[in-house]
Copies of this chain bind each other. A is one copy, B any other.
Amino acid sequence: MTTSIPYKIYLAENEMPKHWYNIKAVMKELPDPMLHPGTLKPCTIEDLQPVFCDELIKQELNTKDLLIEIPEGIQNFYKMYRPSPLVRAYCLEKLLDTPAEIYYKFEGTNTSGSHKLNSAAAQVYYAKEQGITSLTTETGAGQWGTALAMACAYYDIPLTVFMVKVSSEQKPYRKAVIETYGGKVIPSPSETTEVGKKILAENPGTGGSLGCAISEAIELMAKTPNCRYVLGSVLDHVLLHQTIIGLESKIACEKYGIEPDIIIGCTGGGSNFGGLVGPFMGEKIQGKNNIHFIGVEPASCPSLTRGKYAYDFGDTGKSTPLMKMYTLGSGFIPSPNHAGGLRYHGMSSIVSKLYHDGYFEARSVEQTRVFEAASIFARSEGILPAPESSHALKVAMDEALKCKETGEKKTILFGLSGTGYFDMTAYMNYNSGTMTDYVPTDEDLEKGFATLPNIPE
């Protein structure tokens, strides 16, 4: 079988998934529900309608249907940049001198540079269908903002992006790309919102955070008629859209008889990881495979490995519904020296529940090790990886080196969720030896935990 596997596997159009994969339909226990922050009761469709598009809310609350149809309008958009290739990392294997087979699913071939476009396409499509006339969002490293600007340009809907201030400074060109696609970019925290003003008053020098940018985006949305807010990660419907990654991977693996022993993804808000592993993990839950899944997060923002499993707000301004998740507290802001993305304080409820129930392992890695792995990968496989994706890459290399020690011929699949073209400032710091690591002390974490809400059991 092996000899007939192409170097890069692209599915044909007729092999492409026509449905997303809703893992909640097979989970033995469901994640605890999203709570209304006022009543502390599970959110209803009506609670969420002022914020999100109707169809997305239905997807958010759907726990029954395993397969959810991808509308033709979204399939057409996907055709612009999908399928993404599943690539055998022959050169990396050779360099590491490992008996392991390493594959990566590469989501960076589109201009947004990452997997984020998968959900942007879907969310803007549904907004357009519903007659929404403008959108707001936040972006951290900028992939989501770029992806959404691309989708908004395609479907012709105006967009305002609150971009984490430190990112907008570290990545001026990313901001320029969003603007080229017609998006309006506001560095966050900003003076344009009440919550922004409040945060600036309390922390004048702050570089911002995703939680804070979310608060600003929601406030602007609430003030704007016929506007909705869209979120690039964390929520169940975002994970749903991202399962296109795992579904394509699975179809490609099945077509060529590739059986992964280990699947690795990086974890920020959880959508890339959830999207990649979802369809495989669903089958693990059903007893159909015994794959070892690993989620990799930065040591500087360790929600899974050092966070608490608790109800928390999605944003710093404490305006979102409460979600049960692994969290560092919505007041946690990672050190500005952290350049590798994955800066969110919390973790998708689905991913958190799967972790809580023992379905996967989580590891944290320090950023200089991540950039070291990224540089090795760039030189051997050609692709310049995003720092985020390089967290997964780093652990894939670790696992391949373990195979070298033990002689095991494992099949390792990891998600290469994006490219690093807009992260050259960080690469320059790494190349010049000035990059430092940051691991929060227990005291640092306690400050974040102190911002957790008190929710009666």
Contacts and interface: CB of A to CB of B under 8 A. Distances in A.
Interface string A154-195: 100000000000000000110011011110000000000000
A177 B424 contact: yes
Contact of A382 (B80, B425, B428, B431): B80
A427 interface: yes
Interface string A358-394: 0000000000000000010011111110000000000
Contacts of A150: 379, 382
A30 interface: no
A171 to B, nearest CB: 10
Contacts of A381: 80
B7 A375 contact: no
A147 to B, nearest CB: 10
Nearest to A152: B379
A419 B173 CA distance: 14
A380 B153 CA distance: 7
B182 A111 contact: no
B91 A380 contact: no
A116 to B, nearest CB: 13
A425 to B, nearest CB: 8
Contact of A421 (B6, B80, B91, B422): B422
Interface residues of A, number: 41
A411 interface: no
A126 interface: no
B382 A176 contact: no
Contacts of A59: none
A8 B7 CA distance: 18
A176 B6 contact: no
A232 to B, nearest CB: 17
A58 to B, nearest CB: 28
Contacts of A382: 80-81, 110-111, 150, 154
A384 B80 contact: no
Nearest to A431: B179
Contacts of A383: 110-111
B379 A431 contact: no
A10 interface: yes
A154 B379 contact: yes
B79 A7 contact: yes
A176 B111 contact: no
A112 B347 CA distance: 34
Interface in A403-438: 419, 421-422, 424-425, 427-428, 431
Interface of A: 6-8, 10, 12-13, 79-81, 91, 109-111, 113, 150, 153-154, 172-173, 176-177, 179-182, 375, 378-384, 419, 421-422, 424-425, 427-428, 431
9 contacts: A7-B80, A91-B154, A111-B419, A113-B421, A150-B379, A173-B173, A176-B431, A177-B427, A180-B384
* Nearest 4 A/B pairs, CB to CB: A173-B424, A153-B379, A421-B421, A7-B79
